[in-house]
Amino acid sequence: MSFEELYQKYFQEIYFYVKSLSRNEKVAEEITQETFFKAFKHLDSFDGSKDIRAWLFTIAKNAYYSSYKKSKREISGEFQSEPIVETIFMNQLVNSDAAFKVHQFIHEMDEPYKEVFTLRVFGELPFEKIGLLFGKSASWARVTYYRAKKKIAQKMEENDG
C-alpha cells in the first residue's frame, strides 16, 4: 500500500480519534497532519508485524499528548480547560492512594469487566488478543474495557464526593 493510499484510508479515523481526545477541530487537524508526517518519515522503520492502523493510532496519541504537555507549559498560570477524562484516570492510577482505591474496586468488579480491564491496563494486551482469550471479537473486548473504565470512573467520582 502506498503512503497516499494509507493517508486516504486512515485520515478520517485518525482525525476523529484525535478530535475525541482534544475536543477541538483545529487541534485535531494539526495533530492528524503531524501523525501522517511522522508516519511518512518513519515508514521504513515499520516492520509490519503489527497492524498499521494501530501504529498510526499510537503515533497520533503520542503526538497529541506531547502537544498537550507543550501547550500546558506555555499556558501555565492561565485558566485551562478541564483535562481529558482519560488523562485524569491515568494520573489517578499513578497516585498510590487513588491507585489502591482503583485496585480495590477492580477486585470487587464482576467478570468479564475485571479481567478485561486488568489484561488491557496491566497486561497491556491489545483488544484483539483479549477477544481471543474470551472467544469473542476485538470489538467486544474494546466495549467491555470501556464499560469497565466507565464503572471505575463513576465509582471514583462517588468516593470523591
Cell of 154: 463513576
Query: Do 3-75 and 85-160 have matching folds?
Result: no
pLDDT the model gives residue 88: 54
pLDDT the model gives residue 74: 54
Q: Where are the alpha helices (DSSP H) in 42-137?
A: 52-75, 85-94, 96-108, 113-121, 127-134
- Average pLDDT over the chain reads 78
Average pLDDT over residues 105-117: 86
More confident residue, 3 or 110: 110
More confident residue, 50 or 17: 17
Tell me, which fold does domain 85-160 have in CATH?
Answer: Arc Repressor Mutant, subunit A (1.10.10)
Cell of 158: 462517588
Residue 145: Cβ within 10 Å count: 20
129-143, pLDDT tens digit by residue? 899 989 999 999 999
61-82, pLDDT tens digit by residue? 888 888 877 776 554 444 444 4
Domain ranges of the chain: 3-75, 85-160
More confident residue, 84 or 101: 101
pLDDT the model gives residue 117: 86
Tell me, which fold does domain 3-75 have in CATH?
Answer: Rna Polymerase Sigma Factor; Chain: A (1.10.1740)
